[in-house]
């Protein structure tokens, strides 16, 4: 049974991604735009980098979803990937840049978000899981594992195809 209240609470939650501890080591978090606005929790988690993957940069003040970060967010590095949540959008162009940020910042905590934390940002995390997939999980198994951290994830069909193509790259 789907509960709307639980769905909204999950959408604004900041979820710690736990998958094969050696990969993430309590350093990768997933949320929505609403979760990014929870500055108190972000400070408690000691987030170092916020990566936004959205149509518009939420840290630019001409955006309707503007987050005023002048003081509270000033010590947090902000990175923006411009991406729409459309099935024909090629999200794979952000796979390697996202992985590079994680790999080049091994001691930093990273918070990744899109507008709802359902499609774009989980797709990037799934791509990273694929790149580190030592035990050769299927995409379906990886999605199930990620849903244990954030049950509302649901990458659109175009993003699923991008992930399937990415898996093929690692099978060669």
Decide: residue 168, CB within 10 A, 0-12 exposed, 13-18 middle, 19+ buried.
exposed
State the Cα–Cα distance between residues 41 and 93, nearest whole angstrom. Answer: 30
Structure confidence by residue, pLDDT tens digits, 32-45: 888 888 888 888 88
Structure confidence by residue, pLDDT tens digits, 1-22: 333 334 445 555 666 655 444 4
The pLDDT of residue 127 is above 80 = yes
CATH number of residue 133's parent domain? 3.90.190.10
- Catalytic site residue from 54, 114, 142, 153: 114
114 is catalytic: yes
Query: Into how many domains does the chain fold?
Result: 1
Report the chain's terminal Cα–Cα distance, integer Å.
41
What domain range includes position 39?
A: 4-171
Decide: residue 39, CB within 10 A, 0-12 exposed, 13-18 middle, 19+ buried.
middle
Structure confidence by residue, pLDDT tens digits, 162-171: 999 999 887 7
Residue 16: predicted pLDDT? 62
């Amino acid at each position: 049974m789907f509960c709307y209240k639980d769905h909204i609470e999950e959408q604004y939650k900041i979820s710690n991604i736990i998958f094969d501890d050696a990969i993430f080591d309590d350093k990768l978090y997933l949320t929505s735009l609403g979760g990014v606005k929870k500055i108190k929790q972000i400070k408690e988690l000691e987030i170092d980098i916020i990566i936004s993957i959205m149509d518009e940069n939420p840290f630019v003040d001409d955006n309707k979803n503007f987050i005023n970060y002048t003081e509270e967010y000033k010590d947090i590095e902000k990175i923006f990937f411009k991406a729409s949540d459309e099935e024909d959008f090629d999200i794979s162009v952000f796979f390697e840049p996202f992985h590079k940020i994680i790999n080049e910042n091994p001691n930093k905590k990273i918070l990744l978000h899109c507008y709802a934390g359902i499609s774009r940002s989980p797709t990037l995390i799934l791509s990273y899981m694929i790149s580190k997939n030592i035990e050769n999980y299927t995409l379906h198994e990886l999605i199930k594992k990620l849903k244990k951290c954030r049950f509302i994830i649901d990458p659109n069909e175009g993003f699923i195809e991008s992930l399937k193509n990415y898996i093929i790259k690692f099978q060669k």
